[in-house]
Structure 1
Amino acid sequence: MNLAQSFSSGIVLAPFVTSSGLLLKTWDAISSRDEDVVSHVGNRLFWKVFEEQGLTVVVFEVKNFDLQHNLVSSSYLKENNNFHRFEFLRAKKIPDFSVDGSTVSLFIDNLQKLDELKSEINSSNPLIVTGHGVGGAIASLFTVLLLESVGSGKKRPLCITFGSPLVGDKKFQEAISRSSTWSSCFIHVVSYKNSLPKELNPPPRDYMPFGTFLFCSDTSSTCFENPESVLELLVSSTNDQSQGFEATDYGKLVKNLYRKAICKDFTSRGLNLTHSTSLNACIYLQLCAALGLTSDMQQLQHQNINALAAKLEKLENKFMYQKKEKFDPSKKLNVMKIDMAKLEWYKKHCKGQGNGYYDCFKKAISTADQDAVQWQKNLRNYWSDMVEEAEMKPQTEAAAFRIRWLYAGTNYRRMVEPLDIAEYYANGRRKDYVAKGRSRHYEVLEKWLEADKKEKGDSNSNNRKNVELILTIDSCFWARVEEALILCGELESFKEKEEAKGKLLEFENYVYESLKKYEVSPEIFLKESSYMSWWNKYKGMADNSGGLANFMRNPLHFDQYTKGNFSFP
């Protein structure tokens, strides 16, 4: 992606939102004094439910509440307040997060009634949850409460807040943003004159926005999705005109913006932006729109705005790159397929040298072995990241991810994990790869496959087709071979070790059962393989009466196995 030709579409998207009439309808519900609509009273919290033309609007209002900014962790809330409602947001990579203490305390004080409200909402209607000021913060938390069921067939709610303070830290933002469905449920309208969204105790960056922010002036608006850019705008002291701002001014703002939405002239006259990048120019114009700067004011504050625009340009570049990577992971997967193809070539190359690719990689003698190291690392890094990303997704999205990537991930695990095992045992001093050395992402990929088999009712049936080309089904096979070699060494030194004999017998049975199912690559029978090294040591220690011994006694069996026509008794 050529970032020099990137653009920021916020100044185009904002009029689309303001022209829809959605903000007008929402603010009308907030400011409504319709006596026919019952106001529900909680502990310093009030809410109304409007049902109109197939639309449900829930309005939250907070009165006589002193907002004291402090962050409390979800684990603290769970242990000390018995608050479990947001547990579904936690993930392996986000085990804990923090929310604003005073806001969540108010939320918890009214939790029973809010749970009742949640169950009473008509799920068949589109739902808007809204509020102004602290009421908007409560609206955000209530919408989070609804997110758990989003993706299970229910309509997603839309939360629209006006001048709401921030409600959580960076981990809270990451927990919500791990699902694009969740983060798209939030639109926060902020006037450049309103100080409440900026009221953050030092250090202000302990808080982090989430969702889409619509920054408004009297004459124009723009929107940002990047949380770091939003935070930069909120904490910036540029053109702070918060004095004398009233709640009712949001009503005037949305009406003005609705009228002006048909105006397509976003150009700031009198400014020379010819030497700016396309993205920098877009952001500059967005800042002028959000701050309501006239042409004269733009000239006076050009230097300050330009500095802020340069800072936001860096943040937006970073954000666009991250979104691009997440949006099209299959593109990178195609690149990874090239490395998989190279490892397939390496596998065939090693076999041509009379050795298996596992043992060639372990010995690392040739240039091809060194090249394989880079392909291995590229693939391992990619799949480790992909598994981590999947685990951060909500359950429904993670399930869809697993189905889509299961085949590629299984092939990767069976091809690359043996190389990790070879590295682990290469120096001859390590033991127990499965318990001490195995990367967690291999375990996760294996669990996905087992879960898929269980769901489909698949069983491991004999597969004799193309046996010569198969990858060993158990990607930890070579780790078990290495452990068996270590046990043989122990038996040579300590004949009395019955435990070692028992483990070797278990391994012997494991190999034979795997062979019977045609789940092992015939590469193990190459003369210089670690498996054959093990067998040559073990056959003198075993009683040679078992199924594996009978199979291994005749080398012709190896060819028959490779062709898929050996009949196991």
Structure 2
Amino acid sequence: MSSSILTDSWNAVSKHQGHEPVTIIEGHPKYNFIVFVGSPVIASDLQQENHLVYASETSNLQFLCSNTHPSSSINPTAFSLFNSLHDKVKTSSEPETSSSSANKKKKPIPYIITGRGLNGSIASLFTLWLLNTLDLTKFKLRCITFGSPLLGDAALQQAVSSHPTWNSCFLHVVHKGDCVPRLSPVPPYKPFGTFLLYSESGDEYLEDPESLMKQHIHENLEAVAENKKSQTFDYKYDLERVEKKLLERDYEAGITVQVAAAGRQQQNEGFSAMTESIVEHEHDIIKQQREEFDPDEELSERKVYLALMERYMKKCRANGEGPGYYDSFKNAREQRDNGVDKYKTYLTNYWENVVDDARKKPPTWGAPLRHRLLFAGTSYRRIVEPLDIAEYYRRGRKDYLTRGRSKHYEQLEKWLEDHSKKEEKDRPSEPKGENLTEDSCFWAHVEEATRSCRLLDRASSEQEKLTKFEEYAMDLIKKQKVSSDIFLEKSSYMQWWREYEEILKKKVEEGSQPRPSELVNYMRDCCYENYG
């Protein structure tokens, strides 16, 4: 609000009224404009309460539908106009990336997508399409609308609001004297983004849909339809006033004034209660936004905790004699084990949020995580999941893979597999030797194999499980996809191997097995040579 971005946007809209449906204004020192003009507002077009159309009905907007939001619906008039303009908009208005090294060093110039009334609704749809299409590390997008009606239903609201980077791109400016924003019937229309509501009496930012609906921005539809001034409302004067004033106004007083400006009088019954409710709710929203999860900003901090975990791993090796960090954490007998739970909790909370946020993205986004996050998540999974496994079996449980594994580990592993299939050349380097065991569930397999050894006399089916584990372990060892930690003398794997070797020796002596297994022979001949 300390800049002139709102007045600049309104001037761009005013300047190009009556021109082609889409206009780009080049040469502004701070930003480029994509202006939507030329589509008049007709009240009947925006009051089709029972005729919303599904975003899935066009390939241009299918990205608004996902597993969590499968049925986003949009006003049919805005929907139709966007589809009719889409190809032209795409070729004439889509931001382009320069390949010159000089431009790569410069910060990207923001693009402001704007429009008033119904054109603002089209601008919102185009912005959503750009957010889905462009690499947002190279472009900055903002959508500023003036007096625009609400665009879609609760499912659309949820689809947009579930992505902070999407939702924060939208600012909708609405004056009480402009009746067009109140043409959308409630229900089913719902708001998304941030709203700047103002009148001659006061102004207020509202970033939460519930607070917005409490402000009664929707009025009697018959009265709205009769108001001819709504088509020509001029925002310029009030925008200049708001820009000068807004930073100085008192927060709670501003809400109180705006509630009054929205049509309620202070003597009306329930006024104080409603004002108090809005103030409290908005404070909660602001607090939540201050704590908003941003994976990129928090990744560097979480790397510190991952480095502390790696230091813990080295301490547990104890010059090649210690049990390794898996068994050390499982037994939790040393001072070095103190504090590891804290690091594990911080890292797990962060990556659960990353995965949850990425899962909400529509499937047409392609890769749910950028390479940087995907590879960092792989390192996290291979370091931290063994600790979850250790804790699981320390409590006497069994069948971690089917009963105890967190869904976010499964999702990170699946995304890595998908990425490896699609982009072989960009695969992360395979962990070898003293690095990380590639399969983060390795120790769960070891625990189950140990259990099978102890049940072997009572259940012949356990031999089949042990044979499968032999093949699994043999494959990892031959390909050097296990950490040298597993061969430490006191590790659970070495304990299993010794126990299993004795079982096989006994079977050879009894004549029930003609020779030791390939794994036992390989372990004897090669493992210390390969892993030292």
> Deviations for 1:203-224, whole angstroms, at most 9, x for unmatched residues?
x7x8642223232324875544
Task: State the shift of 1:177 in Å.
Answer: 4.0
Say if 2:492 is the partner of 1:530. Answer: yes
Say if 2:350 is the partner of 1:382. Answer: yes
For residue 156 of structure 2, what is the aligned residue in structure 1?
172
Amino acid at match of 1:314: H
Task: State the shift of 1:519 in Å.
Answer: 2.3
> Deviations for 1:180-225, whole angstroms, at most 9, x for unmatched residues?
66445533221134566468878x7x8642223232324875544x
Amino acid at match of 2:13: T
Number of residue equivalences: 491
> Deviations for 1:384-406, whole angstroms, at most 9, x for unmatched residues?
22222233346798859532234
Say if 2:62 is the partner of 1:87. Answer: yes
Counterparts of 2:431 and 2:393, CA distance in 1:
30
Counterparts of 1:463 and 1:415, CA distance in 2:
12
Say if 2:462 is the partner of 1:493. Answer: no
Task: State the shift of 1:256 in Å.
Answer: 1.8
Counterparts of 1:408 and 1:443, CA distance in 2:
15
**Are residues 459 and 313 of structure 1, via their aligned partners in 2, closer, same or farther at CA, if it must alter by over 3 Å?**
closer
Amino acid at match of 1:330: L
Task: State the shift of 1:419 in Å.
Answer: 1.9
TM-score norm. by structure 1 comes to 0.68
Task: State the shift of 1:360 in Å.
Answer: 3.7
Say if 2:215 is the partner of 1:215. Answer: no
Say if 1:98 and 1:168, in contact at 8 Å, map to a contact too.
Answer: yes
For residue 254 of structure 1, what is the aligned residue in structure 2?
235
TM-score norm. by structure 2 comes to 0.72
Partner residue of 2:408 out of 441, 458, 477: 441
**Are residues 156 and 366 of structure 1, via their aligned partners in 2, closer, same or farther at CA, if it must alter by over 3 Å?**
closer
Say if 2:215 is the partner of 1:236. Answer: yes
For residue 45 of structure 1, what is the aligned residue in structure 2?
none
Say if 2:7 is the partner of 1:19. Answer: yes
Partner residue of 2:47 out of 55, 58, 67: 67
For residue 476 of structure 1, what is the aligned residue in structure 2?
441
For residue 511 of structure 1, what is the aligned residue in structure 2?
473
Structure 1 residues 368-379: aligned runs within 5 Å: 371-379=339-347
For residue 336 of structure 1, what is the aligned residue in structure 2?
305
Say if 2:47 and 2:184, in contact at 8 Å, map to a contact too.
Answer: no
**Are residues 371 and 255 of structure 1, via their aligned partners in 2, closer, same or farther at CA, if it must alter by over 3 Å?**
closer
> Deviations for 1:538-564, whole angstroms, at most 9, x for unmatched residues?
33336545542223336xx6543443x
SS across alignment from 1:188:
strand
Counterparts of 2:368 and 2:217, CA distance in 1:
44
Task: State the shift of 1:25 in Å.
Answer: 3.8
**Are residues 319 and 547 of structure 1, via their aligned partners in 2, closer, same or farther at CA, if it must alter by over 3 Å?**
same
SS across alignment from 1:167:
coil
Percent identical residues: 30
For residue 329 of structure 2, what is the aligned residue in structure 1?
361
Counterparts of 1:130 and 1:530, CA distance in 2:
66
Counterparts of 1:290 and 1:23, CA distance in 2:
25
Say if 2:519 is the partner of 1:548. Answer: yes
Counterparts of 1:211 and 1:438, CA distance in 2:
36
Amino acid at match of 1:57: F
**Are residues 266 and 227 of structure 1, via their aligned partners in 2, closer, same or farther at CA, if it must alter by over 3 Å?**
closer
Amino acid at match of 1:377: T
For residue 292 of structure 2, what is the aligned residue in structure 1?
323
Counterparts of 2:72 and 2:486, CA distance in 1:
53
> Deviations for 1:404-441, whole angstroms, at most 9, x for unmatched residues?
2344322221221112222333455522x334432222
Counterparts of 2:464 and 2:520, CA distance in 1:
16
Amino acid at match of 1:192: K
Counterparts of 2:295 and 2:439, CA distance in 1:
30
Amino acid at match of 2:170: F
Counterparts of 2:152 and 2:119, CA distance in 1:
11
Partner residue of 1:187 out of 171, 187, 193: 171
Counterparts of 2:407 and 2:218, CA distance in 1:
50
Structure 2 residue runs of 5 or longer lacking an equivalent are 27-33, 95-111, 505-512
**Are residues 324 and 549 of structure 1, via their aligned partners in 2, closer, same or farther at CA, if it must alter by over 3 Å?**
closer
Structure 1 stretch 320-329 or stretch 503-512: which is displaced more?
320-329
SS across alignment from 2:133:
coil
> Deviations for 1:488-528, whole angstroms, at most 9, x for unmatched residues?
34542244x4xx54543332233223223332223323444
Counterparts of 2:480 and 2:428, CA distance in 1:
10
> Deviations for 1:65-84, whole angstroms, at most 9, x for unmatched residues?
4725569896xx86xxx566
Q: CA RMSD in A?
A: 4.8
For residue 49 of structure 1, what is the aligned residue in structure 2?
21
**Are residues 283 and 207 of structure 1, via their aligned partners in 2, closer, same or farther at CA, if it must alter by over 3 Å?**
farther
SS across alignment from 1:160:
strand
Say if 1:166 and 1:208, in contact at 8 Å, map to a contact too.
Answer: yes
For residue 278 of structure 1, what is the aligned residue in structure 2?
none
Counterparts of 1:544 and 1:461, CA distance in 2:
37
SS across alignment from 2:227:
coil
Task: State the shift of 1:532 in Å.
Answer: 2.7
> Deviations for 1:78-105, whole angstroms, at most 9, x for unmatched residues?
6xxx56654312445x3435446xx34x
Structure 1 residues 270-419: aligned runs within 5 Å: 281-282=250-251, 284-285=253-254, 288=257, 307=276, 310-311=279-280, 313-323=282-292, 325=294, 328-330=297-299, 332-334=301-303, 336-337=305-306, 340-341=309-310, 343-344=312-313, 347-348=316-317, 354-364=322-332, 371-393=339-361, 399=367, 401-419=369-387
Counterparts of 1:360 and 1:537, CA distance in 2:
20
Say if 2:63 and 2:363, in contact at 8 Å, map to a contact too.
Answer: no
**Are residues 156 and 427 of structure 1, via their aligned partners in 2, closer, same or farther at CA, if it must alter by over 3 Å?**
closer
SS across alignment from 1:165:
coil
Counterparts of 2:160 and 2:248, CA distance in 1:
35
> Deviations for 1:227-270, whole angstroms, at most 9, x for unmatched residues?
34xx41442369999978935357444132356478569756xx
Amino acid at match of 1:417: E
Counterparts of 1:155 and 1:286, CA distance in 2:
30
Say if 2:486 and 2:494, in contact at 8 Å, map to a contact too.
Answer: yes
